[in-house]
Amino acid sequence: MRLVLVLGDQLSLSLSALRKADKDSDIVVMAEVMGEAAYVPHHPKKIAFIFAAMRKFAAALRDDGWQVAYTTLDDPDNTGSITGELIRRASAFGAAGVVYTEPGEWRLINALGDLPVKSHRLADDRFIASHAEFDDWAAGRKQLRMEYFYRDMRRKTGLLMNGDKPEGGKWNYDHDNRKPAPVGVDYAGPLQFTPDAVVEQVLALVAARFGDNFGTLRPFWFATDTAQARQHLAHWIKGGLPGFGDFQDAMLNDNRFLYHAVVGLYINAGLLDPLDVCRAAAQAYRDGDAPLNAVEGFIRQIIGWREYVRGIYFREGPDYVSRNALGHDRALPAMYWGGATRMNCVAKAVAQTRDEAYAHHIQRLMVTGNFALLAGIDPGPLHEWYLAVYADAYEWVEAPNVIGMSQFADDGIIASKPYISSGNYIHKMSDHCGTCAYRVQDKTGPDACPFNLLYWHFLDRHRARFAGNPRMGNMYRVWDKMDAGKRQTVLHDAGQWLDRLDAGEAV
């Protein structure tokens, strides 16, 4: 008899550890533990989502004939860690060993590697590319550009392919996907589920134990099992997918989800299979219910970006999260935890994060991420913030996005240039600037948009590193052509603004 570990983000009946196990003799171990719930101060909605989905998954396994040893957080015998629970259960059941699927964080991989019980680790094959396939693709390449990896994944899956040719003749329709914010959004947003008895029990537990964490717990409307997640997906494919491509990068004061799928949390926890999700989107295209730019864009995010960042995380190893190529060391400002700020775009992204444990890609990349990069925030605490506050965040997917894509802290493994922009980009893609205390058109002075000031401050202080980057030459030429006095004023105003930030003012 062996134990079969199922972690909170491994809630898939097709999990390799379950496939390998014997339903008649082996025992599934699942555990709500403080070690996982508190290693960063996770958003209460994220904890509630994971615990509720774990409890329902355990019930589904039992219905399916499995014996499940489930530890709730308030169980008096709870040892507080995954390894502690495995050791306790192994001793109680006299287990010969433990079978588990590779976790998505080095922290837990290393802890399980040290288990004083015979254990067998299996690959997590809920992904399209294995580690070996990604490493083979990466080997010998100077630049690991996602686009080429993505094409291989299209060929491998056959998604949107006509033989060996991409559907419509082009691999990538991103050029059609950068429209500014629409006036009206004709999609009602994600399907919302009323908490049932299991979810209510978990909500009470989370309110009592994690009520002081950043983030509001109620209203809680996430799907918490595969059937609900599939319902949500079908609802989005019908109403949201057609507009997804066009307005993927847009942001609105009064619409938090626009046409986004809000499926990351369900796929990452194992409730939805990534390939099934992509096939459903491809079917909508074939049925004439969604345009190619939307469907290709969506599929690219999942079989391209999602697989690619996972490959990078495992290829780069455990020290990836502590990289800091630009030497940024500013403390994470209180505004990330809901402290006051006059910057409307940041306030909106953080408020939505607090309420929903969700922000869409451009809010994460071009608002909170862009600001942190321009202001020189230490990427370590920033990475922990992103890991804590989003319901879809696990280190394998969060860290490459934050450390690599957003902060350039990996020195350009993922991004060929830093994702920085002045206020102009946010102005173009959103309605945030119209109701902001700052003026996006001001480049200097007391009301100047801080993104405008800090943009030049960033380029100036990192000149030695970036001036030679062919994709950044234009930026430096514009800066160098600026009147010397004006350059001085910009840097002076930026420095003063940063001093006020450091002093804890509500800037």
Residue 37 or 347: which CB sits closer to ligand SF4?
347
Stretch that binds ligand FAD, among 50-58, 80-88, 159-167, 385-393 (CB under 6 A): 385-393
Torsion angle, alpha carbons of 265, 269, 274, 279, to 10: -70
432 binds, among ligand DLZ, ligand FAD, ligand SF4, none (CB under 5 to 8 A by kind): ligand SF4
Site track 384-423 with ligand DLZ (rule: CB under 6 A), x = hit:
----------x-----------------------------
Q: Closest approach of Cβ 245 to ligand FAD, in Å?
A: 10
Which two tokens mark 246?
A: 């066009």
Answer yes or no whether residue 438 interacts with ligand SF4 by CB under 6 A: yes
436 binds, among ligand DLZ, ligand SF4, ligand FAD, none (CB under 5 to 8 A by kind): ligand SF4
Helix (H) or strand (E) holding 70: strand 67-71
Site track 98-137 with ligand DLZ (rule: CB under 6 A), x = hit:
-----xxx--x-----------------------------
Q: Specify the 3-state DSSP secondary structure of 166.
A: strand
Which two tokens mark 384?
A: 């922990």
Residue whose CB is nearest to ligand DLZ in the complex, by number: 8
345 binds, among ligand SF4, ligand FAD, ligand DLZ, none (CB under 5 to 8 A by kind): ligand SF4
- The burial of 312, by beta-carbon neighbours within 10 Å (0-12 exposed, 13-18 middle, 19 or more buried), is given as buried
Query: At residue 241, what are phi and psi to the nearest 5 degrees?
Result: -55, -40
Which two tokens mark 454?
A: 């800090």
Taking phi over 0 as left and psi of -120 to 50 as alpha, with beta for the rest, 255 belongs to beta
Count interface residues toward ligand SF4 (CB under 6 A): 14
Q: Which of 71, 83, 213, 268 binds ligand FAD (CB under 6 A)?
A: 268
Nearest-angstrom CA–CA distance, 285 and 237? 10
Q: Which of 17, 29, 241, 343 binds ligand SF4 (CB under 6 A)?
A: 343
> Taking a C-beta distance cutoff of 8 angstroms, is the pair 506, 340 a contact?
yes
Answer yes or no whether residue 406 interacts with ligand SF4 by CB under 6 A: no
Structural Rg of the chain based on CA atoms: 23
- Per-residue burial over 65-86, b if 16 or more Cβ lie within 10 Å, else e, is ebebbbbebeeeebbbbbbbbb
Answer yes or no whether residue 42 interacts with ligand DLZ by CB under 6 A: yes
- The burial of 273, by beta-carbon neighbours within 10 Å (0-12 exposed, 13-18 middle, 19 or more buried), is given as middle
79 binds, among ligand DLZ, ligand SF4, ligand FAD, none (CB under 5 to 8 A by kind): none
Cα distances from 434 to residues 171, 429, 437, 440, in angstroms, run: 36, 12, 9, 9
Binding site for ligand SF4 (CB under 6 A): 343-345, 423, 426-427, 432-433, 436, 438, 440, 449-451
The residues of the shown chain that bind ligand FAD, judged by CB under 6 A, are: 260-264, 267-268, 298, 301-302, 305-306, 309, 360-361, 364-365, 369, 386, 390, 392-393, 397-398, 401-402, 405-406
